[in-house]
Amino acid sequence: MNAERKPRRGDLFELTLERFDERGDALGRAGEYAIELARAIPGERVRAEVRWRRRNRLGARVAERLEPSPHAVEPRCAHFGSCGGCSFQSLAYAAQLEGLHGLVERAFRAQGFGAELEITPVEGARELYGYRNRMEFTFSNRRWIARDEPPGAEAGFALGLHAPGLHSKVIDVAACPIQPAAVDRILATLRSAARARGLEPWDQRTHTGLLRHALLRSSRASGEILVDLVTSRDAPGEVEPYAQAVLALHPEITTFVQNVNTRHGQTAQGERERVLHGPGFIVERLLGLSFAVSANSFFQTNSAQAERLFGLVRELAGTRGDERVFDLYCGTGTIALVLAAQAREVVGFELAPSAVADARANAARNSIGNARFVEGDVLAALGREPGEPDVCVVDPPRAGLHPRLLPVLGALAPRRIVYVSCNPVSGARDARALAGFGYRVRQVRPIDLFPHTPHVESVFALERAP
Ligand SMILES: C[S@@+](CC[C@H](N)C(=O)[O-])C[C@H]1O[C@@H](n2cnc3c(N)ncnc32)[C@H](O)[C@@H]1O
């Protein structure tokens, strides 16, 4: 390329990729330009073709792979490359953890936190495959066709995952190695039994067809498996024999439910649910507590790492038994219930009514009498709650804490705030803002709940200065 002019679409650069960003794109440099591109890993040398330029940033695609990364490993999944789900399967796990650590480190340093803030190495998962306890697959009459398939390959039925950036096509997933193998076998039967019975998959353009999604959940502790079949209408005459055919081959399915979604939007959450077999939920155990998980409950998707995450929260909360604890954005109350044994009282605050109902049921299931759950927007609900907490846990969605919550927290003045962050950028921003209310953070503890993806959780305690 001519060094005089600015890069433009179609220009080629040779570069070695250095790291990845929070979306999973690989980043490198060419002179004064930062280049980002998908489907590449740190350490790899590529020829990149420019697609766009914004000031000194270039977006590119891999035109040619020149040298493999020293951190490259063989991906286990047959759909790697076409399915966008676990983009780092080809990157050695140690390099994944280093990259995740870099994301957390950069987010906090960008907020002005210096060397006095320790960011511990990312606590890696012990199970890199088979760890996901919830997968949602889509039925479609438009199967995504791989380049190497023979012409005329049948494309009218698929049960799998959307091809990245291609929402009209679905990859027919034979096996998904991040879920347990037992669930893979059920996925295969759901497909073959539907085809054998001539059940029609959903057509996203004409909004016709019966089968829309199959949501599969499993419990690591009990081995129970839940199948949630999402259909476009009730159709009991078709759905019930189909469910019975699948159940006959898989006695390990402990619950089979049907959710009916008559709307056009592609969501697995139905307007009504019918239990076709079993109690309608499975039971998972974490840190000695048991949790009922139904088709539409929120539950952490990696049980083994969730247990370690909640253990970390308990350690950082450091309660002894006489404290009042608030759990803000409490979901189904898992953290609140874990902390209840070492607190005088725990109060959870949550917007979603179904999550609050689950939280209350889970408290009763574990005979926990000192936990209460308040439904509503956290700001409004906190305003109605009398008294102050000694310790506050916050686990907000990716956007982080609502800006108006920061002064409210400052006024409540708990002596410690334990922050569980699923987005280091918003977590670091909130830690900086809370410093303005007298809170200090000394250590950030990242933990990986989603191996092979760019997502990372971080937990940190903010102490109120005396
Ligand atoms: C990251 S999840 C928390 C998960 C929870 N700690 C658990 O492990 O089950 C964030 C939760 O915040 C809730 N939420 C989002 N906005 C909220 C708001 N304005 N007020 C209260 N809860 C909210 C969501 O419904 C969701 O359950």
Strand order, beta sheet including 457-464? 118-119, 439-447, 457-464, 416-421, 391-394, 324-328, 345-350, 371-375
Please indicate whether residue 90, judged by its CB atom, sits closer than 6 Å to ligand 1.
no
Q: How many CA atoms lie within 13 A of 240 on its CB side?
A: 7
Q: Is the CB of 457 under 6 A from ligand 1?
A: no
300 Cβ below 6 A of ligand 1: yes
Residues near 145 by Cβ (< 8 Å), separated by ≥ 6? 153, 155
Which of 326, 337, 349, 350 to mutate for ligand 1's pocket (most ligand atoms within 8 Å of CB)? 350
Our answer on whether the CB atom of 302 is closer than 6 Å to any ligand 1 atom is no
Please give the distance, rounded to the nearest whole angstrom, from the Cα atom of residue 65 to the centre of ligand 1: 42
> And the tokens for 218?
């499993």
Alpha carbon nearest to ligand 1 atom 6, residue:
330
Give, using CA atoms, the residue closest to atom 16 of ligand 1. Answer: 351
Per residue in 267-291, pLDDT (tens digit) is 767 789 999 999 999 999 999 999 9
The ligand 1 atom at the shortest distance from the C-alpha of residue 393 is 6
- 85-86-90 Cα angle (round to 5): 140
Mean pLDDT of 167-189: 94
User: Interior CA angle at 124 toward 118 and 129, to 5°?
Assistant: 160
Rounded to the nearest 10 degrees, the angle between the axes of helix 424-435 and helix 93-110 is 30
Chain mean pLDDT for the chain: 94
Distance 235 CA to ligand 1 centre (A): 34
pLDDT at 200 over 90: yes
CA distance 34 to 40: 15
Atom of ligand 1 nearest to the CA of 306: 8
The residue to mutate among 297, 305, 351, having the most atoms of ligand 1 within 8 angstroms of its beta carbon, is 351
- Does the Cβ of 397 fall within 6 Å of ligand 1? yes
Ligand 1 contact, 291 CB (< 6 A): no
Instruction: Report pLDDT for 85.
Output: 82
pLDDT of residue 248: 98
Sign (positive or negative) of CA dihedral 260, 233, 237, 198 = negative
How confident is the model at residue 22, as a pLDDT? 92
Q: What is the pTM (predicted TM-score) of this model?
A: 0.93
* pLDDT of 152 higher than 90: no
> Ligand 1 mean position to 298 CA, how many Å?
9
pLDDT band for position 1 (50/70/90)?
low
Residue 378 in contact with ligand 1 by CB distance below 6 A = yes
- Asked if residue 335 has its Cβ within 6 Å of ligand 1, the reply is yes
What is the separation of C-alpha 139 from the centre of its chain, rounded to a whole number of angstroms? Answer: 21
Residues 99-132 have pLDDT tens digits of: 999 999 999 999 999 999 999 999 999 999 999 9
Strands laid side by side in the 253-260 sheet:
166-172, 158-163, 134-140, 211-218, 225-231, 253-260, 272-277
Q: How far is CA 289 from CA 99, 292, 305, in A?
A: 33, 10, 15
Tell me if 393 CB under 6 Å of ligand 1.
Answer: no
Atom nearest to 396 CA in ligand 1: 10
Q: What is the pLDDT of residue 114?
A: 96
Q: State which of 286, 300, 325, 329 you would mutate to test the pocket of ligand 1, scoring each by most atoms of that ligand within 8 A of its C-beta.
A: 329
292 lines ligand 1 (CB under 6 A): no
Is 153 a residue whose pLDDT tops 90? Answer: no
Rounded distance from Cα 305 to ligand 1 centre (Å): 19
